[in-house]
Amino acid sequence: MEKKPEWAYSDKVKDHFENPRNVLNDEGAYNADGRGIVGNIKCGDEMIVAIKVDKAKGIITDCRWKTYGCASAIASTSMLSEMAKGKTLEEAYKITAKDIVDELGGLPGHKIHCSVLGHDGLRAAIDDYYRRNGINRTP
């Protein structure tokens, strides 16, 4: 009898992969306040992150995404989208790949680069929001 290979990810990663949150289903219908597109030439993953912002408070009210990538990229971006909502733009800008991996309960070492795309995409969306609104962001 052939033994099935074990799932190398945490239950939380599996949940976010199988039931991704905040997927950007129709980019044209989503009126984003900021949009970022990033990719990784080595693995071929590409990602779009779009945010809506309460301009009076500077808080991300919604974070949507679409990725062409592996289970780790999907789960990481799903988790990131949940982490970003309700944060100020500056708080969200400071979310790191390590924060995402920790929140997911870990990723295999060779998959950490997948979680980097998400926070790079979020930062690009926040930078786009600042550009669109003529805000000079000083880190």
Active site residues: 43, 114
Rg over CA atoms, the chain: 15
Which 8-state DSSP code applies to residue 39?
Answer: E
> In angstroms, rounded to a whole number, what is the distance separating the alpha carbons of residues 53 and 90?
12
β-bridge partners, 67: 47
Nearest Cα residue to 52 out of 84, 100, 94: 84
Contact (Cβ atoms closer than 8 angstroms) between residue 22 and residue 78: yes
Contact (Cβ atoms closer than 8 angstroms) between residue 128 and residue 35: yes
> In angstroms, rounded to a whole number, what is the distance separating the alpha carbons of residues 45 and 130?
26
